[in-house]
Amino acid sequence: MLDIKLIRNEPDMVRAALSRRGPHAVAALDTLLELDKQRREMLVAVEEKRSLRNSVSEEIAVAKRNKEDASAKIEAMRAVGDEIKAIEARLKDVEAELEAELLQVPNLTDESAPTGGEEDSEVMYKWGTPRQFSFMPKDHLDLAGPADMIDMERGARTSGSRFAYLKGDLVFLQFALVQFALQKLASKGFRPVIVPVLVRDEAMFGTGFFPTDTQQVYRVEADDLNLVGTSEVPLAALHMDEILDESDLPVRYVGYSSCFRREAGAAGKDTRGIFRVHQFDKVEMFSFCAPDKSREEHDFMRSIEEEVLQDLGLPYQAVNIAAGDLGAPAAKKYDLEAWLPTQERYREVTSCSNCTDYQARRLKVRAKGEKGSPYLLHTLNGTVVALGRTMIAIMENYQNEDGTIAVPAVLKPFLPAGKEVLGG
RNA sequence: GGAGAAGUGGCCGAGAGGCUGAAGGCGCUCGCCUGCUAAGCGAGUGUAGGAGUGAAUGCUCCUAUCGAGGGUUCGAAUCCCUCCUUCUCCGCCA
């Protein structure tokens, strides 16, 4: 959410920063300004009347104590009370409307995010060299299917399409990756957290997934809860309504959770294997930091993501996402895309976003120093390891001609002793 | 799931329709004082919104805020309703 005061005081700047996302992003600005004006007018009116009522009520109290007659004043205040109620009712409507509009407005874009849509995202650089195969490489499902490490058919029978059973060595691989990631992140000051994956609407609104992305979310109607699509949601909400101690910043967490996505609108896209499924597990980092440090923190997160892929020996490219392709809460986003030999292209495996104060304003996460007033923090999130996609990349890049999969050296300590290949 | 109890400032804790933004204590900040420290004395110390004013750190005033939201009343921390959270007991369960 943007600060209404910023929109009020610097409408041209706001309009310019938002229009880089496309025309839809600025559509509501005039309405917003008009509603804000109405709201403030009503506020002045109602506050004047409340002030009057407060002072006269005080006089009534004094009169009663002195055993004097106050019936005229009481009568007058009864009328004022009715007027207050009338204005309050209209004010409430205007505020609700203002809030609803404001919730739809995406974050301002960072000037270093490229202008334009998806096709304008900028490949910043590449790392590593895609492997030259002396045989025809198989895709992840051709590798893991015959070895009975991925079972799509039974996943579909149990839960429907885009659900899978992962079995055997793939399960060991997943937990090895989790251990590897958690230990690396812990050593960099990120506190490991296992989060609730069912969250209230507040958490979804607070992180900016609601009201715009409701169709992507599994909702448990009976309890008014939502299954999270990423542990970003419960991690961001971890300090909702809190004022953190400035000296503790940055506050960094690494979460591990299952993630649930309806993938509405993705019909027919990435239908093979586990590249795009309704449920997957992910190790996610999250940071609350001082406003003037978030760019630095964003680069730090990207460097961690790169370190993970480099440690795993997976060739990748880093992409600076264009303004028009950013999610609503993000001011700037980097994706890392790993090389998939059978698709002969780079595919997204991690993503990290600087949400500036957009989520913090909604969630009311602030910090305060020795002196001065509380201020909103900046929030950042980034994928450490998206387990499904990272395992796909490992399988495809590390495959042997016989269909087994070699193990990246850094994972060996986290796999069962003596396991040299997966799926053998 | 059933039955009870409770939620007050950074913390503890009083208050039970008006004189309460909230006693008292602790903590914290500033000042005074005392060889140092401790103690003592004095003052200050929540958040948000709005109006006015200034070049500006700001200042003045108003409004709201005693878990959240409604209601009763001229007036609600205090009375009523709904919800949330915590605790105790019973049931169930990994």
A276 is catalytic: yes
pLDDT score for A327: 93
Asked whether residue A60's C-beta has any atom of DNA/RNA strand B within 7 A, the reply is: yes
User: Can you give chain A as a three-state secondary structure string?
Assistant: CCCHHHHHHCHHHHHHHHHCCCHHHHCCHHHHHHHHHHHHHHHHHHHHHHHHHHHHHHHHHHHHHCCCCCHHHHHHHHHHHHHHHHHHHHHHHHHHHHHHHHHHCCCCCCCCCCCCCHHHCEEEEEECCCCCCCCCCCCHHHHHCCCCCEEHHHHHHHHCCCCCEECCHHHHHHHHHHHHHHHHHHHCCCEEEECCCEECHHHHHHHCCCCCCHHHCCEEHHHCEEECCCCHHHHHHCCCCCEEEHHHCCEEEEEEEEEECCCCCCCCCCCCCCCCCCEEEEEEEEEEECHHHHHHHHHHHHHHHHHHHHHCCCCEEEEECCHHHCCCCCCEEEEEEEEECCCCEEEEEEEEEECCCHHHHHHCCEEECCCCCCEECEEEEEEEEEHHHHHHHHHHHCECCCCCEECCHHHHHHCCCCCCEECC
Can you give the residue ranges of every domain in chain A?
A: 4-104, 118-422
A window 204-243: Cβ near strand B (< 7 A): none
Which residue places its CA closest to the C1' of nucleotide B75? A57
pLDDT tens-digit profile, chain A (424 residues): 899 999 999 999 999 999 999 999 998 999 999 999 999 999 999 999 999 999 999 899 888 888 888 888 999 999 999 999 999 989 999 999 999 899 999 999 999 999 999 999 999 999 999 999 999 999 999 999 999 999 999 999 999 999 999 999 999 999 999 999 999 999 999 999 999 999 989 999 999 999 888 999 999 888 888 999 999 999 999 998 888 888 888 999 999 999 999 999 898 999 999 999 999 999 999 999 999 999 999 999 999 999 999 999 999 999 999 999 999 999 999 999 999 999 999 999 999 999 999 999 999 998 888 777 888 999 999 999 999 999 999 999 999 999 999 999 999 999 999 999 998 7
pLDDT score for A304: 98
Upper half-sphere CA count for residue A302 (Cβ side, 13 Å): 22
pLDDT score for A204: 93
Contact positions of strand B to protein Cβ (< 7 A): 18-19, 47-51, 62-64, 70-71, 73-75
What's the CA–C1' distance between A211 and B50, in Å? 28
pLDDT score for A289: 93
pLDDT score for A246: 86
Ramachandran angles phi, psi of A28, nearest 5°: -90, 0
Distance between CA A323 and CA A318 in Å, rounded? 16
Q: Which amino acid is at A131?
A: R
pLDDT score for A369: 80
Catalytic residue among A232, A366, A389, A396: A389
Q: Is the distance from CB of A334 to CB of A302 less than 8 angstroms?
A: yes
pLDDT score for A215: 92
Condensed to tens digits (0 to 9), the pLDDT of residues A226-237 reads 999 999 999 999
pLDDT score for A303: 98
A159 is catalytic: no
Does the domain at A118-422 match CATH 2.40.10.10? Answer given as no
The dotted CATH code for A4-104 is 1.10.287.40
